[in-house]
Structure 1
Amino acid sequence: MKKINYKYIFSLLMIIVGAFMAAFSVACILLPNDAIDYGTAGIAIIVSKLTGLHLSVSVFLIFLPFLILGGITMGKNFLVKAIAGSAAYMIGLEIFEAIPFQLNVEHFLAVAFGGAILGGGLSIILRLGGCIDGSEILANVIVNKLAQKKGFNMSMTGILIGFNACVYAAAFILINRNSALLSLLVYIIATAVIDHFTDRFEAIKQVTIITKNSDRIVEWIRKDMKKTCTVMDSSGAVSGNNKTIICYVTYFELQKFREYLKELGDNTFITVSTIDEIMLSH
């Protein structure tokens, strides 16, 4: 009989909580104060405002292609978590749009508060390996393709900034300048909160693995992750001779690393650090 994975179930429940926090922020604070979300949710809000399409339907239609892309490129576990988060987000929008809620403060303070709640909700989702924003999935895919074709790793920061610049430019042109500027404040506050709790999820992550089972791990990195890595001899004062493996991944790929290394079940020591830049000399 297969054991119930209570930790996995708890992670799904917390992703749902994070999605409801994000939905509350958007429906009850940001939209009533003339601000919008960022990423694909921001696109969905613009489409909803221009066409009259129901917001949750618009979110679903915009996010669906990115959800499929994420499932193909990042695996079943990511897909399940992304579906749970996006479904909870859409249900939350339906619920909170129907609840009368008024925050009697200045627009600036309301938007700052809403951005902090949004960032908190998204931090929970990202830390547990989920996602409700297609721009992050797209950025991850682009970074991986560049790594495979060009042989170098880059952060998702530039891609995400470019994507959201287009979203806010569209808001500036199609809605109004106040909405675009308030939405930019949402982005700054939300990403500051996310970066604090996820150690800058858009940056490159260096995974250092000290193990006696290096061949199996290297094979998995090459075949399943389609990544390269560096392998060095090392020695521990207690463990004796080992191999040290160094690999560079994105934040979403890091979740796959964690899941795989848990399945190994041997004495493997792993550290993760954030890398600002990787330079190549020729």
Structure 2
Amino acid sequence: MARKRLKEAVKQKLESPGWQKILRILNQQLAITLGAALNAFAYVLFQMPYNLAAGGVSGLGIIVNNLTGFSPGLFFFTANIPLFILGFFALDKWRFLFTSTLAVVVFSGATEFFIVNMPTIFTQFPITENKLLATIYSGLLIGIGSGIIYRFGGTIGGTSIITRIIYNKTGFPMSQSGLYVDVIIIALAGFVFNWETSLLAFLALLIAGMSADFAMEGTSQRRTLIIITRHPEPLRYAIINELKRGVTMWPVKGGYSGEEHTLLYLTVLRSRVYDVKFIINRIDPDAFMVVGVSQQTWGGYTQKKKKTKPMVSDHGIDP
């Protein structure tokens, strides 16, 4: 009975009005559409004119187009059909199809649209003769588009389906298997085109990976601090009253010395790390501090002391 009540309580907490569910789904699909369209735009504008086959089914499409004249957009859509069938049976069936089909259809359709209309959109096409410049911008834009798709729960299909199946069956990391597949396609491009183009394609792949991470999580402006000290009270007082930040405290024991210490945990803006170092140097120079990157922070138990004072979180996070 207790478990049933807990299940009902959690379900009630997670339920939202129907219009909110619809709005959330529409927002997700709109974001995936924009991300896939941005990918197609960068693909046609920067990768296709210079044969930058930067891995994946889209890179394979450039190679096939060069050898046979088969349209890259149509090839991307056609090649994903057997991969979708495989993914439907090997992965999370309907959820997998729902989150991936839209991105694949939009990317394929937008690619065909841009292939036909790009020369008329720009008076000069290709817009640059500098292959390195095209490599950098293709990586940036495709990474941002892919990051938006991943951030809202979608996938771009293609080789990501294969890597996810490999991960589910063997536990082999998706990032590594995906890199191996992309490197094989890039190496194939080296034989079909030339090795300089292949090297630029690999650079575009690396830039796309970094910009995708940026699009998914953004830049980190916060740092997580772990401080081990013998003088917790003076440090706690200084952090709360001088920096206006809260702190969480735990009693800990040294693994080598067996001595009792206190661990202080707080999250501050990157610009305030120096202030914390100054406080530690003045109060407890022997304290040990670790500075970590907090990619995202939210929530926290807050308590308002007075109306004239800011709210302070127990974890040092701005409410």
**TM-score, scaled relative to structure 1:** 0.64
Match of 2:158 in 1: 134
Out of 209, 214, 227, the residue aligned to residue 196 of structure 1 is 214
- The equivalent residue for 2:132 is 108
Q: How far 1:68 sits from its partner (Å)?
A: 2.2
Between Structure 1 and Structure 2, how many residues are aligned?
Answer: 193
After superposition, what is the alpha-carbon deviation per residue over 1:164-202, rounded to whole angstroms, capped at 9, x for unaligned? 111011101122223212211110100111233446xxx
Is 1:9 aligned to 2:26, yes or no?
yes
Question: How many Å separate the matches in 2 of 1:163 and 1:9?
Answer: 33
Single out whichever of 167-176 and 69-78 deviates more from structure 2.
Answer: 69-78
Q: Distance in 2 between matches of 1:2 and 1:157?
A: 37
Q: In 2, distance between residues paired with 1:104 and 1:164?
A: 26
CA distance in 2, matches of 1:38, 1:166: 8
Deviation for aligned residue 1:62: 1.6
Aligned to 2:99: 81
CA shift in 2, pair 1:137/1:27, >3 Å = same
Separation of aligned partners in 2, 1:167 and 1:111:
17
Structure 1 partner of 2:175: 157
Contact 2:99 2:154 in 1 (8 A): yes
SS at match of 2:32: helix
Taking only the aligned residue pairs, the percentage that are identical comes to 27
Mapped partners of 1:25, 1:36: distance in 2: 13
What amino acid maps onto 1:89 in structure 2? F
Question: What is the alpha-carbon distance in structure 1 between the residues aligned to residue 55 and residue 115 of structure 2?
Answer: 18
8 Å contact from structure 1 (residues 82, 131) kept in 2: yes
Give the whole-Å Cα distance in 2 for the aligned partners of 1:37 and 1:158. 16
Distance 1:176 1:69 in 2: 33
Query: Aligned residue for 2:68?
Result: 51
Secondary structure of 2:139 counterpart: helix
1:65 alignment partner AA = P
Q: How does 1:89-238 map to 2 (within 5 A)?
A: 89-98=107-116, 99-100=118-119, 101=122, 102=125, 103-104=127-128, 106-147=130-171, 154-198=172-216
Report the alpha carbon displacement of residue 105 of structure 1 after superposing the two structures with TM.
Answer: 5.7
Please give the alpha-carbon distance, in whole angstroms, between the structure 2 residues aligned to 1:81 and 1:21.
17
Task: Supply the distance in 2 between the matched residues of 1:33 and 1:48 (Cα, whole angstroms).
Answer: 13
CA RMSD in angstroms comes to 1.9
- Compare relative contact order (CA 8 Å, sep 6+) and give the higher one, 1 or 2: 1
- Select between 13-22 and 63-72 the one with higher mean Cα deviation: 63-72
Q: Identify which of 69, 84, 87 aligns with 1:67.
A: 84
Greater CA deviation, 111-120 or 172-181? Answer: 172-181
One-letter code aligned to 2:60 = I
For 1:20 and 1:144, the matched residues in 2 are separated by 29
Flag structure 2 segments of 5+ consecutive residues without an equivalent.
1-16, 218-319
Structure 1 runs not aligned, ≥5 long: 148-153, 200-282
Q: What is the distance in 2 between the residues matched to 1:185 and 1:133?
A: 22
Q: Aligned partners of 1:5 and 1:195: how far apart in 2?
A: 28
CA deviation profile, 1:41-77 (whole Å, cap 9, x unmatched):
1112211221111111211122222222233312313
